[in-house]
Structure 1
């Protein structure tokens, strides 16, 4: 049973800023994700749709036929299950499986195969999943065995008979799109506000919550992205983010499928040489990644590997100026930093290589380094006071709130958690930032990445930057900050650092003491913890929960 609720109390409703750019209308055929894909498949029949590092490749016609045949067989295998678990990496098979479930009116729930068993089982329980689709190859690679009945795709493929293939080809090639609802449940009862997927949050600060994203959310975000960065059917999108991540689900899968682009997939975003090979061979024009992933590519790949790339969009973590400079020098590409949340479909804002308009209508360059760009068309951003909830004027730092058609209706069966962050359509991100007079958004920190030390709020990000600069990390992140309870000061800062720390903790602390960082913000040398690597999630974000666990294990508290 799915239920989502939003609170009725408005947040700063008296001073609602207008979106910089109104959202272009969605095509009439975009009445659901399934119908949008079917229209792409009909209009782009022979064009390449999906390819992956296994050598698999599908045209739009082939992808539609395979999705129809698979969906027909799955209907017999999984019965009436509404929410269906998917435990597959980004591949052609993973894409077709999601398409097949959607065309059948099911809700694919892509499970996080980089999470622990407890988190995955929690997601299965919350979404009332009875069947999980996976593959033998995938199950051999991971230790997870989710709850529910495992359905192995290799076994399902053997059940696809001649009648299933003939039926799929007939529907794909002969039945008018307007009549497909008679044979496809996903096109019969279309409702833009029906759940299209459930994306579970990483659980980096607690148990994962199920974010319900609707057909309207994902289609709106696809249309916004298409308009904002000028995507065309000639674009080839490199899909290295997993489908259990909202960015991986919305952009390399559904934005590609709805607009009629080509998606190229690989299972591991850290495989720099494979990424370079795919980019070179398929002439990828758009890469969506994180700064952490790209840092690895810079070290292991050649400039010519990325000569076809026109858009390099980075998110999930702050893009440091040193790394941006290295990308420009090595590849001749201006990286575009963007921002989003699972709850926002996910894209909220992104820099653009194209000229934009300021709030007063003046033309301005679309890429403003140091910011995460202007909001998506039809999206409104404001900041509010963390204490009072009052709206703040442009240029004042506060909690970032977002309103737009891509905002989730709420968390799965969690009206309490929903009402904490969603009020009158405004989503409170929990991130701190400011909007400059031209409408560009800057992220300054996250509320969950603050510690209250002796009554003062200390931002982890600022302390991290000072430590990495003082320790000479060469642009790499060699230290991260977390916190532990402290009986005297409330909390104390703990620094986890890799062998890349170029000096001793004592020397780092002494160098910080002579700098501009407030003395209260400087961690004790005794609270530095050496680790082999900094724990990150599958999306490339810091694993905040694991950071605290390591600190507690090593230092107690």
Structure 2
């Protein structure tokens, strides 16, 4: 693939970023539903989905089940367009999402690791009246969202002989041009219509609904395929939930559109089950977070991951120490990537394949310490947080993204949308820089800074210094902040017993190191906890961190 040079739209940048052109969407990719049907007809009896319950579906079977279930759903759902889904990554979860999509409904996968309040907020915001779930799922969680819950076990007997015959006729016999006459999702296809609503984690406040369109998800699937060279022979391990944009776009729809095989398991913390599935199904692509991989390293063997050619990690920073442990333990080069719910989600990822710089020089596709180069068709610029002026390569500022994967906006929140979408650019709120070859370096988030005595203190830098002083690379300590009457804010550190050093001794070591004195927390502001609060997506639960700090140190 050739590399073209795209001059920056504004600013004083003197070095252009390399831009890989965006491939055109295939003619059959006019909607997610049509892309899936086209793939299913081409792949036929090839495996599509398997999961840890033992369920297994070929592409033909997945299409038949999705069509039949969709026909039943049309009889029971009523007029509501947005439909809640409370299911883990599984064959049943995949079929349910596809069935809704083929029927022109918008699946809204609800975060079953979130609070009752957050889920009910999502239900209210999206106008959801019905939630599709299963008895097995409800037995595993305490959550009971608002609305009428329809269990898949109760819907299965409603699939009659007529439904099955109809599904077979549509799947196997009906000409492609006539599919829109019987499938609402293929009738008035508009790439810019909503395909899903992904609610943000709410780690710093109430969740917002990110409206992702068919264009967003299809474009991101094609970008990913070209950037890391996915092929129909690849087997993707799907351990990220469908309520996470990465889990929805890649292990579900990228798999469906390209014709890959997905292997699902609902709990990424069950390392030995993950290892067994990877080994048995010869998974070649694993998408995970550093937090989840730390658990794998403790319990999995090198031979468990012998089939893996791509280990893509995101959602949090991949620390050099963890990357080295992965190389030593498994002989795999981890590839760090970057994305946001609002960008479909993938913005960039390191690649094992050589690329070209703007001046034509060959450049390795993987540059450790960065989150890789942008996806094809994706523009990235860095702006000054204060002035909004574009900065040249190598200067740190706010990362802004433009591309076909950028969301339509926040559901029913035009003001919040206007704050982050400006002239087609999505302002991520992440701080970072872009080097001369277009590799992106993320340094921190704006909301992970505290203003202590007038100075901006990055939580991530303080955490790194604490862990280095403690002699560990595991996430056994995290930094948050509380208001302080004298200095504006003060840093508070939550730590687990695995830190292995007392707060006074640790603070003494920090004072002996290069960390600015103003950045060093007081030993009295170290709070022991049994475990670090983490969201179901693997990210730190920033809101819960602050709540714990406030509960323990109300003054």
The offset of 1:288, in angstroms, is 0.1
Q: How does 1:455-466 map to 2 (within 5 A)?
A: 455-466=454-465
SS in 2 for 1:545: helix
The answer to whether residue 398 in structure 2 is matched with residue 399 in structure 1 is: yes
Find the counterpart in structure 1 of residue 416 from structure 2.
Answer: 417
Find the counterpart in structure 2 of residue 379 from structure 1.
Answer: 378
The offset of 1:501, in angstroms, is 1.3
SS in 2 for 1:523: coil
SS in 1 for 2:54: coil
Find the counterpart in structure 2 of residue 5 from structure 1.
Answer: none
Find the counterpart in structure 1 of residue 531 from structure 2.
Answer: 533
Find the counterpart in structure 1 of residue 550 from structure 2.
Answer: 552
SS in 2 for 1:112: coil
1:17-62 deviation digits (Å, cap 9, x = unpaired): 6652111111110000000000000000111000000000000000
Find the counterpart in structure 1 of residue 489 from structure 2.
Answer: 491
Q: How does 1:347-366 map to 2 (within 5 A)?
A: 347-366=346-365
Find the counterpart in structure 2 of residue 195 from structure 1.
Answer: 194
The offset of 1:359, in angstroms, is 2.3
Find the counterpart in structure 1 of residue 135 from structure 2.
Answer: 136
1:165-201 deviation digits (Å, cap 9, x = unpaired): 1111111110012211110000011000000000000
The offset of 1:12, in angstroms, is 7.4
1:45-95 deviation digits (Å, cap 9, x = unpaired): 111000000000000000000000000000001011100000000000000
1:293-324 deviation digits (Å, cap 9, x = unpaired): 11111110111111000000000111111111
SS in 1 for 2:400: strand
1:521-543 deviation digits (Å, cap 9, x = unpaired): 00000000000110000010000
Find the counterpart in structure 1 of residue 3 from structure 2.
Answer: none
1:439-464 deviation digits (Å, cap 9, x = unpaired): 00000010000000000000000000
Q: How does 1:300-449 map to 2 (within 5 A)?
A: 300-449=299-448
SS in 2 for 1:25: coil
Find the counterpart in structure 2 of residue 117 from structure 1.
Answer: 116
Find the counterpart in structure 2 of residue 521 from structure 1.
Answer: 519
Contact 2:50–2:263 (Cα < 8 Å) also in 1: yes
SS in 2 for 1:461: helix
Shift in CA distance, 14/287, structure 1 to aligned 2, threshold 3 Å: same
Q: Structure 1 stretches of 5 or more lacking a match?
A: 1-10
State the aligned residue count: 546
Contact 1:452–1:491 (Cα < 8 Å) also in 2: yes
Contact 2:120–2:146 (Cα < 8 Å) also in 1: yes
The answer to whether residue 94 in structure 2 is matched with residue 95 in structure 1 is: yes
Q: Could you tell me the TM-score, scaled by structure 1's length?
A: 0.97
Contact 1:12–1:389 (Cα < 8 Å) also in 2: no
SS in 2 for 1:457: strand
Q: Whose relative contact order is higher, 1 or 2, with alpha carbons under 8 Å and at least 6 apart?
A: 1
The offset of 1:361, in angstroms, is 2.1
Contact 2:12–2:391 (Cα < 8 Å) also in 1: no
1:242-268 deviation digits (Å, cap 9, x = unpaired): 000000000000000000000110010
Question: Distance in 1 between the 2:471 and 2:228 partners?
Answer: 36
Question: Distance in 1 between the 2:359 and 2:381 partners?
Answer: 16
The answer to whether residue 59 in structure 2 is matched with residue 60 in structure 1 is: yes
SS in 1 for 2:19: coil
Question: Distance in 2 between the 1:359 and 1:123 partners?
Answer: 44
Question: Distance in 1 between the 2:368 and 2:210 partners?
Answer: 30
Question: Distance in 2 between the 1:80 and 1:282 partners?
Answer: 40
Contact 1:12–1:390 (Cα < 8 Å) also in 2: no
Find the counterpart in structure 2 of residue 6 from structure 1.
Answer: none
Find the counterpart in structure 2 of residue 542 from structure 1.
Answer: 540
Question: Distance in 2 between the 1:446 and 1:77 partners?
Answer: 44
Shift in CA distance, 12/360, structure 1 to aligned 2, threshold 3 Å: closer
Q: Which runs of 4+ in 1 moved over 2 A?
A: 11-19
Question: Distance in 2 between the 1:103 and 1:12 partners?
Answer: 39
Q: How does 1:490-509 map to 2 (within 5 A)?
A: 490-509=488-507
Question: Distance in 2 between the 1:146 and 1:553 partners?
Answer: 27
Question: Distance in 2 between the 1:44 and 1:400 partners?
Answer: 40
The offset of 1:503, in angstroms, is 1.1
The answer to whether residue 158 in structure 2 is matched with residue 159 in structure 1 is: yes
Give the CA RMSD over aligned residues: 1.1
Find the counterpart in structure 2 of residue 258 from structure 1.
Answer: 257
Find the counterpart in structure 2 of residue 3 from structure 1.
Answer: none
Question: Distance in 2 between the 1:429 and 1:15 partners?
Answer: 21
SS in 2 for 1:309: coil
Shift in CA distance, 323/204, structure 1 to aligned 2, threshold 3 Å: same
The offset of 1:409, in angstroms, is 1.3
